[in-house]
């Protein structure tokens, strides 16, 4: 028997089922903003705890059963699911859908793979229901105090949901960090790429830290001071800010720098891998995100690292660093440049996804709704919005006049950092791969011509010429004559 009275019917503006940390915080955020919030959880204890601990946050309508939960919602009903991703989400969707009517809206605010969202949306659309997969970024703190919200689904569903989501989202300069992203899985797609960019951001910060530590022998706290200083300039962002904080943290047990007592194996929940897998399928070179994701995999490759440690020589001679301040300045510029490339690549993936799946995504708006609430919130996102405002058809973010100017200023420093790391035997996968991408994308001519010739040699895959239309093949094992293949 639940320790709360049954809720009345047709009363709540919105409902949330799944009262673990994210769902309860989202429900509290809605209630604090004046919405009447129905709440529910599979096991009633969590619902009771929300009412007991936070019942005074606003108007909650708790239900023990899913029947009562659905009945307590005003029509057209809006129910947010915030449960474990995967099978549990499907199970809860089925439970809700069986009790809802055409026109009602089911929202999945968990971290779903966008292809699952597309599948679920199609199935619910056939029943006349709206299904909205929405990205919610900012972790538990964001869910409570203002996340960045990325809803997909129909425009019609956004008419109903948008005003509530925009009220509870983070707000920067009077603009909510929420907008309708696009149809069906667009919201979860954009959230996925957001997380991929987050991987690259975190890795490139870690590479700068590693070089300060190993090349300059700086302590964690000294490096923390550098990040705190960087956070006052172009690099100002949540991740740089918390990096400074983490590096200043002292371990209570040992008195050592906290970062020095953490095992150097980074975990991952999968959104970085999804971003890379999807990019591979779409043919988008998100090299910074990919290297950041693989860097976590390398860190976790324990048997391989043990087999290599003390066995594989560095054969490296670290060049002398005569001017330490100049080296740190180079690192700052390299970090900024690598970050610009990672974002440019991420936006390429969103554009490619939009093109492939037929979503009308405003890229400038995506940068705008990431300015607050989310993990990659940063000062320079404004510049991305401005770039897409200047040219909505911008093929490459780096080619925008502002970003071209910014990255140009960083190039010599970026090259020095990557060259130093390679010579010293220090790994910088994102610094290096983004620089390599930069040099590839701006190249007049790439060695892909030779790859294409090789493909034609062993697989008759044909090639195109620089001086004529059509596709051609060479009789490599015969007289080596060229024949046109396309008519
Ligand atoms: P979680 O640990 O992922 O999931 C726990 C919740 O799922 C509980 O309410 C649990 O109910 C419910 N649940 C599990 N299996 C169920 C089933 N078969 N049927 C019904 N309910 C079931 O919770 P979370 O950390 O709050 O995250 C919720 C969602 O938000 C996830 O999709 C997560 O990926 C996403 N997300 C999380 C964060 C974060 O920072 N944590 C950030 C963004 C997005 P019981 O209490 O009955 O077990």
Question: Half-sphere exposure of 186 toward its Cβ, with a 13 Å CA cutoff?
Answer: 25
For residue 480, give every residue at least 6 positions away whose Cβ sits within 8 Å of its Cβ, in sequence order, or none. 474
State in Å: Cα 60 to ligand 1 middle: 20
Instruction: Provide φ and ψ at 317, rounded to 5°.
Output: -125, 110
- Closest CA relative to residue 345, chosen from 276, 293, 299, 409: 276
Q: Which of 62, 82, 135 to mutate to test the pocket of ligand 1 (most atoms within 8 A of CB)?
A: 82
Indicate which atom in ligand 1 lies nearest the CA of residue 139: 40
Q: How far is the CA of 111 from the centre of ligand 1 (A)?
A: 10
Q: Across 34-172, where does the E strand assignment appear?
A: 37-40, 60-63, 78-81, 105-108, 130-137, 148-151, 171-172
Ligand 1 closest atom vs CA 22 = 26
Strand partners, 16: 39, 80
Question: For the purposes of burial, counting CB atoms within 10 Å of the CB of 75, is it exposed (0-12), middle (13-18) or buried (19 or more)?
Answer: exposed
Gap between the Cα atoms of 366 and 190, Å rounded: 8
pLDDT digits (tens, 9 = 90+) for 193-205: 999 999 999 999 9
Distances (CA, A) of 485 to 83, 152, 192, 363: 54, 44, 41, 39
Length of the chain: 487
* Concatenated DSSP letters of 195-219: HHHHHHHHHHHHHHHHHHHHHH---
Which atom number of ligand 1 is nearest to the Cα of residue 110?
32
Residue nearest to atom 16 of ligand 1 (CA): 88
Mutate to test the pocket of ligand 1, among 2, 20, 63, 271 (most ligand atoms within 8 A of CB): 20
Please give the Cα distance from 150 to 109 (Å, whole number): 9
Nearest ligand 1 atom, CA 109: 30
Q: If the chain, 487 residues long, is cut into consecutive pieces of 10 residues, what is the mean pLDDT of each piece?
A: 89 98 98 98 98 98 98 98 95 98 97 97 98 96 97 97 98 97 98 98 98 98 98 96 98 98 95 98 98 98 98 96 98 98 98 98 97 93 97 96 98 98 98 98 98 98 98 98 94
Q: The pTM is what?
A: 0.97
Give residue 487's pLDDT.
Answer: 78
**E strands present in 119-166:** 130-137, 148-151
- Report the separation in Å between the CA atom of 85 and the middle of ligand 1, taken as the mean of its atom positions: 7
CA of 18 to the centre of ligand 1 (A): 6
Alpha-carbon distance of 118 to 67, in angstroms, equals 26
Burial class (CB in 10 A: 0-12, 13-18, 19+), 465: exposed
Look at ligand 1, atom 13, and give the residue with the nearest C-alpha: 83
- Residues with CB under 6 Å of ligand 1 are 18-23, 41-43, 46, 82-85, 88, 91-92, 110-111, 136, 139-140
23 CA closest ligand 1 atom index:
26
- Is residue 370 classed as helix, strand or coil in its secondary structure? coil
Rounded to 5, what percent of the chain is helix, strand, coil? 55, 10, 35
- Looking at ligand 1, which residue's alpha carbon is closest to its atom 14? 84
| Residue nearest to ligand 1 atom 21, measured at CA | 42
CA 39 to centroid of ligand 1, rounded, Å: 14
Task: Tell whether omega for the bond before 76 is within 30 degrees of 0, i.e. cis.
Answer: yes
* Cα gap 349→278, rounded to integer Å: 8
Q: How far apart are CA 231 and CA 370, in angstroms?
A: 17
* Minimum CA distance residue for ligand 1 atom 29: 110
Q: Best substitution site from 22, 149, 238 to test ligand 1's pocket, by max atoms within 8 Å of Cβ?
A: 22
**Euclidean distance between the first and the last CA atom of the chain, given in angstroms as a whole number:** 77
Nearest residue (by CA) to ligand 1, atom 42, is 139
Q: How far is the CA of 20 from the centre of ligand 1 (A)?
A: 6
Predicted local distance difference test score (pLDDT) of residue 2 = 83
Q: Which of 440, 394, 386, 378 is nearest to 198 (CA)?
A: 378
Contact assessment for residue 374 and residue 147, using Cβ atoms and an 8 Å cutoff? yes
Query: How many whole angstroms from 31 Cα to the centroid of ligand 1?
Result: 20
Torsion region of 173: left, alpha or beta (phi above 0 gives left; psi -120 to 50 gives alpha):
left
Structure-token pair, residue 70: 């659905």
Cβ–Cβ under 8 Å, residues 69 and 38: yes
pLDDT at res. 184: 98
Q: Closest residue (by CA) to atom 39 of ligand 1?
A: 139
Q: How far is CA 344 from CA 131, 337, 398, in A?
A: 30, 11, 6
User: What is the spatial distance between Cα 153 and Cα 141, in angstroms, rounded to a whole number?
Assistant: 25
Whole-number pLDDT of residue 379 = 87
Q: 266 exposed, middle or buried (CB, 10 Å; 0-12, 13-18, 19+)?
A: middle
CA distances from 187 to 348, 366, 377, 393, 446 (A): 16, 10, 17, 21, 35
Per-residue confidence (pLDDT) for residue 291, from 0 to 100:
98
How many angstroms is it from 89 CA to the middle of ligand 1?
A: 9
List, by residue number, the catalytic residues.
Answer: 191, 198
Radius of gyration of the chain (CA): 26
User: Can you give the pLDDT at residue 283?
Assistant: 98
Residue with CA closest to ligand 1 atom 30: 110
Atom of ligand 1 nearest to the CA of 46: 46
């Amino acid at each position: 028997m639940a320790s709360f009275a049954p809720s009345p019917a047709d009363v709540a503006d919105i409902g949330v089922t799944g009262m673990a940390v994210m769902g309860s915080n989202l429900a509290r955020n809605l209630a604090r903003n004046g919405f009447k919030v129905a709440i529910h959880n599979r096991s009633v204890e969590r619902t009771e705890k929300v009412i007991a601990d936070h019942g005074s946050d606003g108007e909650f309508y708790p239900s023990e059963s899913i029947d009562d939960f659905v009945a307590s919602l005003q029509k057209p009903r809006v129910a947010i699911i915030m449960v474990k991703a995967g099978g549990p989400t499907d199970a809860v969707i089925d439970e809700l859908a069986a009790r809802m009517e055409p026109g009602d809206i089911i929202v999945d605010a968990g971290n779903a793979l966008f292809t699952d969202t597309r599948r679920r949306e199609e199935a619910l659309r056939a029943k006349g229901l709206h299904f909205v997969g929405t990205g919610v970024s900012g972790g538990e703190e964001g869910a409570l105090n203002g996340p960045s919200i990325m809803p997909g689904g129909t425009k019609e569903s956004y008419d109903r949901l948008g005003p509530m989501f925009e009220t509870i989202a983070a707000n920067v300069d009077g603009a909510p960090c929420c907008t309708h992203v696009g149809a069906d899985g667009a919201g979860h797609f954009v959230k996925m790429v957001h997380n991929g960019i987050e991987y690259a951001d975190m890795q490139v910060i870690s590479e700068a830290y590693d070089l300060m530590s190993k090349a300059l022998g700086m302590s964690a706290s000294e490096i923390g001071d550098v990040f705190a200083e960087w956070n006052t300039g172009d690099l100002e962002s949540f991740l740089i800010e918390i990096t400074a904080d983490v590096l200043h943290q002292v371990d209570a047990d040992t008195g050592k720098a906290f970062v020095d007592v953490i095992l150097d194996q980074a975990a991952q929940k999968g959104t970085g891998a999804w971003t890379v897998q999807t990019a591979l399928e779409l043919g988008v070179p998100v090299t910074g995100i990919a290297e950041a994701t693989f860097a976590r995999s390398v860190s976790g490759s324990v048997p391989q690292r043990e087999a290599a440690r003390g066995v594989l020589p560095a054969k490296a001679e670290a060049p002398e660093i005569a001017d330490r301040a100049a080296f740190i300045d180079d690192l700052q510029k390299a970090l900024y440049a690598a970050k610009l490339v990672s974002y440019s690549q991420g936006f390429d993936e969103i554009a490619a996804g939009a093109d492939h799946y037929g979503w009308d995504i405003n890229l400038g708006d995506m940068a705008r709704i990431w300015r607050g609430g989310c993990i990659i919130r940063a000062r320079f996102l404004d510049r991305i919005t401005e770039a897409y405002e200047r040219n909505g058809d911008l093929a490459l973010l780096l080619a925008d006049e502002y970003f071209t100017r910014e990255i140009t200023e960083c190039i010599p420093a970026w090259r020095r950092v990557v060259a130093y790391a390679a010579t010293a035997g220090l790994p910088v996968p994102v610094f290096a791969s983004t620089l390599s991408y930069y040099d590839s994308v701006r190249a007049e001519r790439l060695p892909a011509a030779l790859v294409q010739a090789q493909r034609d040699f062993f697989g008759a895959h044909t090639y195109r010429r620089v001086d004529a239309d059509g596709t051609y093949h060479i009789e490599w094992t015969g007289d080596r004559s060229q024949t046109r293949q396309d008519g």
